[in-house]
Amino acid sequence: MSDPVSWFLIEPGWEVVGADGESVGKVHEVVGDPGRDIFDGLQVIAGILAEAQYVPAEEVGQITVGRVQLTAR
């Protein structure tokens, strides 16, 4: 397993997994203000035709290169 990284490194296309380790989708967009180091959350897409779902920062757990683990869902 990779070492944890900052939310600043999250990129569209990274895998998003639930608390159980099952995939819930891919990062579509990072929501926040990098200049003020305020991380609001993520927009996550579960499929090609799916609508983006907002995941608040409070539900984001460990972030490693290419993968975001949620604490819920």
59 backbone dihedrals φ, ψ, rounded to 5°:
-95, 0
| Burial zone of 46 (CB within 10 Å; 0-12 exposed, 13-18 middle, 19+ buried) | middle
The whole-model pTM stands at: 0.91
Tokens of 64: 């490693």
Given a contact cutoff of 8 angstroms between Cβ atoms, the answer to whether 68 and 21 are in contact is no
- Give the domain ranges of the chain: 7-70
Given a contact cutoff of 8 angstroms between Cβ atoms, the answer to whether 24 and 17 are in contact is yes
* pLDDT value at residue 1: 65
Task: Please write the tens of the pLDDT for every residue from 24-63.
Answer: 999 999 999 999 999 999 999 998 888 999 999 999 999 9
Architecture per CATH, domain 7-70, reads as: Alpha-Beta Complex (3.90)
Tokens of 48: 């090609």
